[in-house]
Amino acid sequence: MKSFKELSYYHDLIVNGDRKLIAWGAGNFFRSFYTQNPLPLTYVIDADPRKKKICGVSVRPPEALIGEDPQKTLVLIYSIFAKEIFAKIRTLGSFDCVQVSEVLGYRERARIEQRLKANDFLQSKPAATQKRAFMVQGPLIDGVTDRIVRYLTNRYPETYLCVSTWENTPQRLLKSIKPFVDTLVMSERPFAGYQNRNLQIVSTTQGLKQLKSDGIEVAFKLRSDIVPLADSPFETCRDLQAQYAPPKALGARLVIPELYTRKYLFYHPSDIAMFGRVDDLLTFWDVPLDTRRLSFKMFEDPKLSLEAIGRQQTPTETYLGCEFAKKIDWPLAFTLQDNWAFFRDNFIVVSPKALDLGWFKYPLLPKTKGPYRYQACISHAFWKKLQNGHMPDADSALTFRDYSSI
């Protein structure tokens, strides 16, 4: 992760037009990010020789970088595999390079940092006195998770705080959080599964089981790189739950953010943060591990219909949503109307402002509409319309290609 000084430097290079901008990565990340945040790119580098153009920008092989002047070039990485790409770039020359999501989101990251620093005075966590909890799950990220935990302890000292992570976590990282948590849960890593879904399932379920054992009634499930910065997130969610009747199979509705709660990908609730009764959260998360070996190309097949993508349960969120549906006896019809009814009756979808989630991985949060229809999310406004009886027409036979158009 780059320092603020570095990110400010790279940001100014982009804004002032001081460097030739070359992108690396011609995949879905590029399509999503570039169309929402266009930059004057010279070309895009990708190792796949079949790719010639993406979003109107020409695609060239990695060797094209050899002919560029490192002093006049900035390489912007559009990929989740940044570590591997950084290593490859170093073999081609001494180029300045940075993840595009980091450099364009550095002002938001500065805001997050400022909030964390303003709430950092306790040297250890006092014993919790409330039956509510934050449950932080996932790998401990150096310089991120420890600061999130410190913030939550300082901001909510009486709230129970559990971190659920892995047995092979370095002692140095464990030591950085131990004074600030009520409970540390350590689990053996399972087969990760596609998009690390099994890691999510195990770390979340084990953390929630610990909460239940300790008598905690309600909880926020959070990724280890996300922090809620809103002033009263528990009160906001409990007030919303009180306004809407609970589903038959749950004690109360689950509260989820708009971000990644997809409108056209079936049964795809956001998994980056979730609030609910601990028993209800366990109903959602305590599901079988997925032992299939899926490939990303499966999801990219433009001939697949929305129904086929849903039935294959390729996206992790869809796998989780479908398993949850089975547990609450929700018949999966794999139509868009049924998908929307699933969210209407079992969840509360909240706006970004309600929780004010700060995300270190992607400080510049993806837009919930997006330029491509398949990226569209169920907004709080759309969810409210569903509550009021509105159910739009939609054709689930449309293909991924149809929903990939602008």
Distance CA 260, CA 275 (A): 15
Extents of the domains making up the chain: 4-104, 115-404
Q: What is residue 368's predicted lDDT score, i.e. its pLDDT?
A: 56
Contact between residue 112 and residue 361 where contact means Cβ atoms under 8 Å apart: no
Mean pLDDT, rounded, of the chain: 89
Close Cβ partners of 386 (under 8 Å, ≥ 6 residues apart) = 340, 341, 343, 344
Distance CA 345, CA 277 (A): 16
pTM (2 decimals)?
0.84
Residue 218 has pLDDT above 90, yes or no: yes
Tell me the pLDDT tens digit for each residue of 224-265.
999 999 999 999 999 999 999 999 999 999 999 999 999 988
Tell me the pLDDT tens digit for each residue of 154-188.
999 999 999 999 999 999 999 999 999 999 999 99
Domain spanning 115-404, CATH architecture: Alpha-Beta Complex (3.90)
Give the 3-state secondary structure of 99-129. EHHHHHCHHHHHHHHHHHHHCCCCCCCCCCC
Q: What is residue 405's predicted lDDT score, i.e. its pLDDT?
A: 42
Q: What's the pLDDT band for 11 if we cut at 50, 70, 90?
A: confident
Residue 298 has pLDDT above 70, yes or no: no
Contact between residue 136 and residue 163 where contact means Cβ atoms under 8 Å apart: yes
Residue 9 has pLDDT above 90, yes or no: no
The dotted CATH code for 4-104 is 3.40.50.20
Task: Say yes or no: do domains 4-104 and 115-404 share a fold.
Answer: no
Contact between residue 226 and residue 358 where contact means Cβ atoms under 8 Å apart: yes
If you write DSSP's letter for every residue of 174-201 in order, what string do you get? HHHHGGG-SEEEEE------GGGHHHHH
Residue 321 has pLDDT above 60, yes or no: yes
Give the other-Cβ count within 10 Å of 110's Cβ: 14
Rg, Å, the chain Cα set = 22
Distance CA 341, CA 359 (A): 29
